[in-house]
Amino acid sequence: MSAFVVLGAQWGDEGKGKMTDYLAEEAEVIVRFQGGNNAGHTVEVGDRQYKLRLIPSGILHDDKLNVIGNGVVVDPEALFEEIDYLEEEGVNVTPKKLLISDRAHVIMPYHKILDVLKEKSRGKNDIGTTGRGIGPCYTDKFERCGIRICDLLDESVFTEKLKQNIGAKSDYITKVLGGEELNYEEIASKYLALAERLRPYVKDTSVAVYNEIKADKKVLFEGAQGMLLDIDYGTYPYVTSSNTTACGVASGSGIGPNMITNAIGIAKAYTTRVGKGPFPTELDNEIGEWIREKGHEYGVNTGRSRRCGWLDAVILKTTVRVSGLTSLCVTKIDTLAGLEKLKICVGYKFNDTVIDYFPASLNDLAKCEPIYEEFDGWGEEVANARSYDELPNNAKKYLARIEELTGVNISIIGVGPRRDQTIRVTTQL
């Protein structure tokens, strides 16, 4: 039995898409369990680049089953845009290759409207969301007024729930937030048409995934976002609205936590963040700018430039603890080539003590000063390295220190965006 998880160990965009595609070779089923099309996962194979948002990054492999689990929030319009885009790129997305949970919640037009208008109303206290309706959709899920995929497929249930939701939300949208009136007829006819297109893909995916694991098929769970965007353990309120940690796998896909055998944390060799919120090791200077340009640090989803900073071992230790990581995959080691000196944050000075965890209070976090260790850089480009031995000594020292600080082995190293630009250090994940 093997079920392994690929998780973002920082603030998202660590290279989960690339690594899921790479590791999909070793799995039969690839499952998304949380988030939605707020994710932007890039996969490069040869000279082709694919951008995935909602569909698992195993889709480029013809013989794999991809599953959108119950914990995901699904925007049907965005889903079919993505399917059409993939089909145009020559990637098959039939119901044989893609299943969608009947329990997943549907992102409705009013969720997207609420996301954008609420952000506007927050003014300078905005979160910097992707505007995809993720937060408002999860809010309805927990408020217990959400529309699930199984509801959308049943016309009488759907129209009833849609009327109730529009009734409950329209005054808030128009009178409080200054938005436009919602048009029931328009939304109903559009979504009922989308329902028919969705129907062949829909299944009880908990049963499907459980049966695959029981039949000794390898199942890979692909996380979206990252550790510090987690609703419970992230830098709240500057987080997303789901559990991005390994604990989200069980509730978001409908299997028991004891079925998970390995959890691989994907970490960039430095740190980035999109959107607002605290970032202790941020480099708001020419080094940060240098990393942004060399690493092409611009968001897949919204095109926003990513904030860049030194690697923070406090973040990685948090991920090891909260998600029970069994190994780390360090990506973008190639980006750092050319920097004379590098730093890793090994702890925070907080009042008169040193801590190696994230305080819950943002006021306390603001008082934390990173404590750095400095490393000599390496001038040699590593994009063509295919084994650990081919890496420069200073890169090896940097990586060895990450292992020491986190207490976890590095199983994979990324040296470029392409599938083949990957160094497998250990077979054990």
Residue numbering of the annotated binding site for IMP: 13-16, 38-41, 130, 144, 225, 240, 304
Tell me if residue 75 falls in helix, strand or coil: coil
Active site amino acids: 13, 41, 141
Of 24, 22, 90, 31, the C-alpha closest to 55 is 31
From the list ligand GDP, Mg ion, ligand IMO, none, which binds 112 (C-beta under 5 to 8 Å, kind-based)? none
- Residue 17 binding ligand GDP, by CB under 6 A: yes
Of 242, 221, 269, the C-alpha closest to 6 is 221
User: Is the preceding omega at residue 392 within 30 degrees of 0, hence cis?
Assistant: no
Q: Are 262 and 268 in contact (CB under 8 A)?
A: no
Q: Are 137 and 35 in contact (CB under 8 A)?
A: no
Footprint of ligand IMO on 362-391 (CB under 6 A): none
How far apart are the C-alpha atoms of 28 and 44, rounded to whole Å?
20
| Closer by beta carbon to ligand IMO, 37 or else 422 | 37
Interaction pattern, residues 317-336, with ligand GDP; x per rule: CB under 6 A: --------------xx-xx-
First-to-last C-alpha distance (Å) of the chain? 14
Q: Are 227 and 264 in contact (CB under 8 A)?
A: no
Continuous segment of H or E residues that includes residue 89: none
| Closer by beta carbon to Mg ion, 58 or else 392 | 58
Among 41, 103, 141, 148, binds ligand GDP (CB under 6 A): 41
Q: Are 129 and 275 in contact (CB under 8 A)?
A: yes
- Residue 12 binding ligand IMO, by CB under 6 A: yes
Mention every residue, 6+ apart, whose C-beta is less than 8 A from residue 295: 268, 270, 272, 308, 332, 335
Among 9, 11, 13, 425, binds Mg ion (CB under 5 A): 13
- Residue 101 binding ligand GDP, by CB under 6 A: no
Tell me the closest approach of the beta carbon of residue 337 to ligand IMO, in angstroms.
Answer: 24
- Residue 14 binding ligand GDP, by CB under 6 A: yes
Of 244, 217, 407, the C-alpha closest to 328 is 407
Footprint of Mg ion on 284-303 (CB under 5 A): 300
From the list Mg ion, ligand GDP, ligand IMO, none, which binds 416 (C-beta under 5 to 8 Å, kind-based)? ligand GDP
| Closer by beta carbon to ligand GDP, 206 or else 302 | 302
Tell me the closest approach of the beta carbon of residue 417 to ligand GDP, in angstroms.
Answer: 3
Give the residue numbers of the binding site for substrate: 300-306
Beta bridge partners of 6: 222, 264
Q: Are strands 327-331 and 262-268 parallel, antiparallel or unpaired?
A: parallel
- Residue 388 binding ligand GDP, by CB under 6 A: no
- Residue 309 binding ligand IMO, by CB under 6 A: no
Among 415, 423, 425, 429, binds ligand GDP (CB under 6 A): 415
Beta bridge partners of 99: 67
Tell me the closest approach of the beta carbon of residue 226 to ligand IMO, in angstroms.
Answer: 6
Among 67, 224, 227, 413, binds ligand IMO (CB under 6 A): 224
Q: Are strands 29-32 and 218-222 parallel, antiparallel or unpaired?
A: parallel
Q: DSSP secondary-structure letter at 27?
A: -
Among 270, 414, 423, 425, binds ligand GDP (CB under 6 A): 414
Give the residue numbers of the binding site: 12-18, 38-42, 130, 144, 225, 240, 300-306, 332-334, 414-416
Q: Which residue is nearest to ligand GDP (CB)?
A: 414
Q: Which residues bind ligand GDP (CB under 6 A)?
A: 8, 12-18, 40-42, 44, 300, 331-332, 334-335, 414-417
- Residues of this chain that interact with Mg ion (CB under 5 A) are 13, 40, 300
